[in-house]
Structure formats: C-alpha cells, structure tokens
C-alpha cells in the first residue's frame, strides 16, 4: 500500500481542527499548520499543531515539506492564501504536489496561483457542520469533489481513509449544491430559532422551547430517515383541517416573522406532501 502523503493545513479554525484531528487519527502525518502572521492566528495554529505533533508556522517560515496543502480558511481568503504560499520562501524547495480547498461554493480555480506552478488542485467539501467546541466524526460524511484528475484521485483516497464517501460535483452545479448544503444546516438552525419565536407567542422561553421541541424533532428525523417524507408527515395539513390552520395564522399575527415562515412551509407542504382540502388550504394561506 502506498504510504499516505504528509499534509500541511492552512488555517486553524473549527474546520481545520476537525480535519487535522481526523487526518491524524487516520494515520496521516500533518507536518505544518500554517496561519496568518497575526498574534491570534499564530496562537491558534500553535495550539492545533501541539495536539497533532505538527509545527505551527506562518507562510514566511513554512518549510512546505508536505505533498498536500489543504486550505481550511474562509472563502474570501483562499485565493490570497494560495498566492502567498506560491511566493513563500520555502515553496521552491518544498515538496508540494497537490492542493485542496474546502469551500462549498468556490471552484478549484481559486487555487490557480498554485496550479500555474504545476500543482494539481481540487475543491473537497465535506457535507458537515463545524463549529467551535464540536469535532464531528467524518465517518459516513459525503465529500463533494471537483478539480484536476490527479488531485481528485488523491481526494477520493483520503476521503476513503477518513471513512467518508466522495462524489463528483460538476463545476456548473457547485453553487446550487452549496445552497442545498446551506439549507441543510445553517438555515435549518434558523428555522429552529423561528420555532423559539413561535413558542414565545404561546408563553414559553427559548430554553423551554428547545427542551420541549427536541423529542419531536428527533422522532421526525428518525421517521424521515426510515420511512421517507410522505409517511413521516402528520398534523393539520395532511388531515385537511382548514379551521386549525386558520387559528394558527390568526395567533401567529403576534409574530409576523414566525407567521411568514409558517406560511412558506405550509405552501411547500401543499406542493410536495400528502394533504386533504388542498385548494381550500392554499386559498387560506395566500389570503
């Protein structure tokens, strides 16, 4: 079996931390954690590097003795970080042959400064959420892969070693893919916050709302996974209970934001899920 390539990670935030730990646990050597040359960034890089036996460096001091550079920085910084490393003192003597970034929406061409030097590049995006204080397992996580053939081949191997599942994403569909991913986690959280607002109308605090909502949310997700959407749908819309929906709309006038979300989701349910009295409900919701 070919020995796993050494990896240098650019960035030291939540995703960089989760990625570095996962790579280390999968038998990969992370040689350097490269950060911006600012006190806060250097401190985060040193802390992460210490956890995995790597060196915390900045572009000016990086030896770049890894075959793979993996950029785990905000989207707006990928292009400039790639250009900075392409001109770093250690680059010409380094061993870099591949470079990845993990933006969900941007293409591999953000790494063009490195591609021009002969490095094969790819975008490798995990369909997972990374936030401070949480280090999710990558086992079973889908990774969207796009880019040069050599780099995507390496990406598939690494994802397999991380026990994830890779799939190709056409460049023309990357933005749509990321819109879907954004709806799956960040905007799902936005919906959950709207639930707290609806609970406030009925006299419950946000803490009460979270505690009392979680059991039914968990069961709904379990039903969705096992039974599919149609057989997981319950409540007044599937029953065609126009009077109940009318009462909901009336009381939710106290929270226009929550009412707007209710209406949008109810109309979506009428389009995609089983419902009785569909035309009456549609008229009510669109009044």
Element (H, E) at 185: none
Q: What percent of the chain has pLDDT over 90?
A: 96
The answer to whether the beta carbons of residues 86 and 64 sit under 8 Å apart is no
- Structure confidence at residue 3 as a pLDDT band (50, 70, 90): confident
User: What number is the average pLDDT over the span 208-221?
Assistant: 97
Cβ(29)–Cβ(6) under 8 Å?
Answer: yes
CA gap 101, 75 in Å, rounded? 9
Residues of the chain above pLDDT 70, percent: 99
pLDDT at 2 over 80: no
Pairing of strands 120-126, 68-71: unpaired
Asked if residues 24 and 4 have their Cβ atoms less than 8 Å apart, the reply is no
**pLDDT tens digits along 228-264:** 999 999 999 999 999 999 999 999 999 999 999 999 9
Question: Is residue 81 very low, low, confident or very high in pLDDT (cuts 50, 70, 90)?
Answer: very high
Q: Which two tokens stand for residue 7?
A: 């990896």
- For the domain covering 7-172, report its CATH number: 3.40.50.720
The mean of the pLDDT values for the chain is: 96
pLDDT digits (tens, 9 = 90+) for 88-138: 999 988 899 999 999 999 999 999 999 999 999 999 999 999 999 888 999
Instruction: Assign 1 a pLDDT band (cuts: 50, 70, 90).
Output: very low
DSSP annotation of 169: -
135-192: pLDDT as tens digits: 899 999 999 999 999 999 999 999 999 999 999 999 999 999 999 999 999 999 999 9
pLDDT of 66 higher than 60: yes
CB atoms within 10 A of CB 100: 28
Q: What is the pTM of this model?
A: 0.92
């Amino acid at each position: 079996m070919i020995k796993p390539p050494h990896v240098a990670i650019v960035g030291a935030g939540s995703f960089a931390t989760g990625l570095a730990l996962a790579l280390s646990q999968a038998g990969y050597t992370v040689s350097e954690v490269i950060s911006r040359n600012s006190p806060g960034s250097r401190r985060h890089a040193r802390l992460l590097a210490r956890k995995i036996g790597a060196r915390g460096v900045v572009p000016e001091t990086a030896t770049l003795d890894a075959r793979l550079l993996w950029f785990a920085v905000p989207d707006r910084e990928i292009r400039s970080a790639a250009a900075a490393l392409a001109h770093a003192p250690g680059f010409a003597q380094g061993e870099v042959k591949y470079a990845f970034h993990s933006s969900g929406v941007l293409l591999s061409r953000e790494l063009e400064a490195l591609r021009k030097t002969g490095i094969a590049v790819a975008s490798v995006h995990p369909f997972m959420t990374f936030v401070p204080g949480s280090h999710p397992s990558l086992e079973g996580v889908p990774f969207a892969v796009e880019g040069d053939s050599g780099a995507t081949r390496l990406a598939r191997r690494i994802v397999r070693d991380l026990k994830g599942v890779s799939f190709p994403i056409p460049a023309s569909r990357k933005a749509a893919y990321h819109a879907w991913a954004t709806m799956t986690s960040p905007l799902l959280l936005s919906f959950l916050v709207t639930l707290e607002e609806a609970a406030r109308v009925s006299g419950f605090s946000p803490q009460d709302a979270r505690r009392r909502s979680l059991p039914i949310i968990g069961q709904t997700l379990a039903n969705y996974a096992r039974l599919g959407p149609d057989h997981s749908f319950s409540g007044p819309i599937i029953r065609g209970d126009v009077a109940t929906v009318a009462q909901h709309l009336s009381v939710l006038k106290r929270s226009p934001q929550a009412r707007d979300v209710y209406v949008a989701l109810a109309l979506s349910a009428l389009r995609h899920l089983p419902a009785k009295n569909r035309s009456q409900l549609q008229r009510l919701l669109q009044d």
